[in-house]
Structures are given as structure tokens and as C-alpha cells.
Structure 1
């Protein structure tokens, strides 16, 4: 499905004391980069706000006048897009995921609707986590501009109230935004929770390394365990590194990357298990030899005592 993405990153962040909110980090990654990662397949991605470094290329624009509010910013972003479907996101959503984005896009593409917006766990609709059909969005923006003589300062509800929008429910975290320092602290704490920290770390590492690969964490963790137990603890990180290197070579030769990782992991895990089995067999043989030697020694002692 072809779509363009507009990310609004030009707010004043008053409740953050005017900090550059999109550049604040959660899990070692800027909020803006985390949002951009949720829509990697957008045909064009436009960020409305001041230029700043981003993990992937985007187009930049500004609303007129700067600080003119979300409707003016949306209009500026829309002018830089051409797709019939437009994803609109704020730049402060640390837990927005690709599945949620896909649900919004799929719903917005259905007949009888002019867009889809996220409905959070409290039943509130989120117009800045939404997908819109571009034509009705342009129409309503033009009508608002004609009615009010401009778009500066207009609230988003003045725009969305006239559109036929379908709400889309999502997980509790998808709509979580960072408006305050307390929100930011909560996001940073949540990302380190035991149940999610590995997934979050892997996603961050893949983005940092510029790779897009489904990682079978269970297989790799089992491999690390087998290497650490069967060989030595330092063997775990070294083995997973070698597996990655071997998989990269296989992928460069034309193999499917995910399958290459799986096959390399299987081979290394089998080797670690054979190594462990061999060590266990040697240990058992040594134990048997020691037991026999001890038994022979006891027998000799008994005979000498009898003599």
C-alpha cells in the first residue's frame, strides 16, 4: 500500500521547559527516530519542524508561521506529499510500532471512511496517530483556511470533526506520548522492564547498525547458553559473533538472511553440544578411573593388613 508519512516535530514543548522534545532519547534512541522506525516503508516521509539529525533520510518543511499549531503544520506537511493515503504522527511516541501503523493504514483504505485514528485505552481518539485519505484532508484544510482567513492557532478538532474517521484500538503503549519529564522517565523505566528489554534492545541495535532482520532470540539465547555451558562463559558472545559473521557471508552469497542466521546457529549449537558431550564423557571416564584406582588401593590395603 503506497502512502506518505507526515511527522509533526515542531511543538513548543512548554511542559518540558522548551526542550527539543523530538531529540530526547528513550532506550538510547531519539523520540523522532523511534517514530520514523514505525513507518519505514513510507514513499515520502516529511518532518515538520526544525532540522535535526535523523537515522534515515526525510524531507523537511516548516509551518507558516512557525509555531502556528498542528493544523498549520499538517497543511505544510501535506503540501510536500502526493500519495492518496497519508500517515500523520506526532514525534513523541516512544512505543509506536509497525503493526499499529499497518492497522491504521489498512482501516483508512477501506470503503466508507476518510481515515482512521488511534483510540487509546481510555477511549480518547488521537488525531496525531492516524492515517487519512489525502483528498478529503486537503478539502477540509482549504475550507478552514477560507473560513478563518488562515490556519494558525486552529485546534485539530476543527479539522477532524468534519471527516468520517474510523477509530482503531491498539495496545496501551502505542498511544503513549512524552509531554512531561515524568512521561519521559516512565518511558525510560518501562523500556527496561524484564519482559520487553530484549526486544527493545534488539530493535535499537538493528536500527543503529542499519540492518533489517527478524531475529530468533530463542535460538540465539539457546546457542549462547550451550556455548557458555559446554565450552566456557566467554564462548557465548564470541560464538554469537561468529554466527553473525557466517550468516552475513551466506547472505552476501545470496542466501535468505534469516535462514542463514538460523542455519549458522544450528551448526554452532550442535558443535557446542558435541563439545559438551565429549567433555562429559571424558569426565565420566576420569571418574571411573579414579574410582577403580581407589578400589584397587583399598583392596591392596586390605590384603596387606591381613598379611
Structure 2
């Protein structure tokens, strides 16, 4: 991962540390590489959300080819994913697709193209051997890779291209930063972005079915009481952690809580007739026409003329 540029169009700001969705850009990119055996960041060391190895190009600020050369010196992998540190929307599935396409073919590399169809060589997967050969040839021809543009290397490689207008979006200007911040707050993205940010903040790698949790929260809110939704989901998470904390533990805890919420709601909506209460009192039936006795055993008043004996 290349994270040591000067960010001139951001006025020299610390671009990898600029926050989008509450997380530094660098951490967002690192989250997309969670499955990597080794993660190398070419930049001056800084706190990160995940453990990484640090490298620095020689000389510092020597450009992307020098940075790539420095990073490769810390890797022995057959394949390498090369990313810049300013990609707010890169994700694990995209990285997986790049690698799968590379492994399935014979090309030297697989890269994304942006919304205008332009190659994005810093959102790509490459065969490490092809990169090493290309870098060695350039160093021999020019004496050094410092200061050379990246296209000097990629132009000599056999590349496969995949359209990726969102994942390849990079933040070069403050307008780009504003656009990225606005996009993650759109209705179709905000929930996934928030869950990803929370998991990253808490150091949780678990891939949970958010649909199940949302259904549970809805059932608890509607069938019990609105405050039951967040409390129930918290308790489900706690129970899942005690049971091992994997995806299956979450699903089982959700199933149990959802069943309980359904039973609770059924009791609220079902209103059976109350059962008859047994009694052991003697019968108080009276012969037709008999008058009720007044308190103390005295006969009650006689009915009015013409009135039925049972009229009130």
C-alpha cells in the first residue's frame, strides 16, 4: 500500500489520515486487505487499525515506482495487491475479485478502470515476479526507479481490466473528500458503512447477517416495546460472544431471541375467553315467583301490580 505522497492538491494535508465515515482513509483501505498474509505500507509509521509492516522508498518522496520497489522487498508472496491509501470505497470483495481473476488467467496483472474508463494501476493485483522483472529493467536502464512514473512499469505488462468506477474512486482533492463523505451517508450505503466502521473501531472481524439482527430489532420493538430493540440486540451479541463469537453463534442467539419475541407478541394479540371459575357454593335458585329476602331474613317488598316477578 502506497501512502507516502505529498497530497499537493490537498494543500499538503495528511491525506491517509483524513477521515471519511469516521475512519482515516488508510484504515479504510487496510480493512479491505484483512485477508492478506502480509500487509506492507510504504510511508512513515503511524497508528493503524491493523498490524502492518512499514517500508520507505529511497529517497523519501521518490515516487510510486521507488515506493513499490521498497514494499516488494518485504514480501515473498506470489501475488501482490497494490493499492493507494486514498480509496474510500475499496472493499474485500473487490480485492478478492482482482486476485481471483489474476489467478485464473495468464496476465501479469489485473486492474480496475474508473468511471471514465481510465486504468487505475494503484487498484490492482499483480504477479510479483512480473513486477520485479519490470522494476529491475527500469533500474538498469535509468540507474534508479526514483522519479519515474508508474506507467513506465505498467506499460510493459500484460494487463486485464475490470470496470470499477466506485471501488477505484480516489480522493485527490477536498471536493473528492466531500463527495465520498456525502455518498456514505446516502440511504443505500449508510448502514453498511456504519457497521463496517463500528466493527473496525471495536476490532471485530466477524461477518454477521445484519438482516437477521434488524428483523430481530423490529420484532422486539413492535412486539414488546421500542427500547427493547437495542437492548435485545446487545444481549444477543453478549450471548453469542459467550458461545464462541462466530457467525453461527450469532445466528443461534438471534433465532432464540426472535422466537421469544414472537411468543411475547402472540400473547398480546391472542385474547381467549376467561375460563369459568369453579364454585362450591350451594345453589341459590328460587322457585318462580319467590320474593328475595331482605337483609335479616325479612321478606322483600312485593312486586308492583302487573310487574313480572323477575323484572328489575
TM-score by length of 2: 0.84
Name the Cα RMSD after superposition: 1.8
Aligned counterpart for 1:263 among listed residues 252, 260, 273: 252
Check whether the contact 1:103–1:168 (CA below 8 A) recurs between aligned residues.
no
Correspondence for 2:210: 217
Check whether the contact 1:8–1:73 (CA below 8 A) recurs between aligned residues.
yes
Check whether the contact 1:206–1:212 (CA below 8 A) recurs between aligned residues.
yes
- Per-residue CA shift, 1:152-203, capped at 9, x if unaligned? 2110111111111111223x21001010111001101100110111111111
Aligned counterpart for 1:275 among listed residues 264, 268, 272: 264
Check whether the contact 1:120–1:126 (CA below 8 A) recurs between aligned residues.
yes
Check whether the contact 1:65–1:152 (CA below 8 A) recurs between aligned residues.
yes
CA distance in 1, matches of 2:232, 2:36: 37
Check whether the contact 1:107–1:115 (CA below 8 A) recurs between aligned residues.
no
The structure number with the bigger radius of gyration is 2
Are residues 159 and 277 of structure 1, via their aligned partners in 2, closer, same or farther at CA, if it must alter by over 3 Å?
A: same
TM-score by length of 1: 0.86
Flag structure 2 segments of 5+ consecutive residues without an equivalent. 275-310
CA offset at residue 51 of structure 1? 1.0
1:238 aligns with 2:231: yes
Find the residue that maps to 2:121 and give its secondary structure. Answer: strand
1:27 aligns with 2:17: no
CA offset at residue 111 of structure 1? 4.3
Correspondence for 1:302: none
Find the residue that maps to 1:68 and give its secondary structure. Answer: coil
CA distance in 2, matches of 1:112, 1:217: 38
Correspondence for 2:138: 144
Correspondence for 2:74: 80
CA distance in 2, matches of 1:58, 1:38: 13
Flag structure 1 segments of 5+ consecutive residues without an equivalent. 1-6, 287-305
CA distance in 2, matches of 1:11, 1:55: 20
- Deviation beyond 6 Å, 4+ runs, structure 1: none
Number of aligned residues: 277
CA offset at residue 281 of structure 1? 3.4
Find the residue that maps to 1:238 and give its secondary structure. Answer: helix
Correspondence for 2:307: none
Check whether the contact 1:109–1:115 (CA below 8 A) recurs between aligned residues.
no
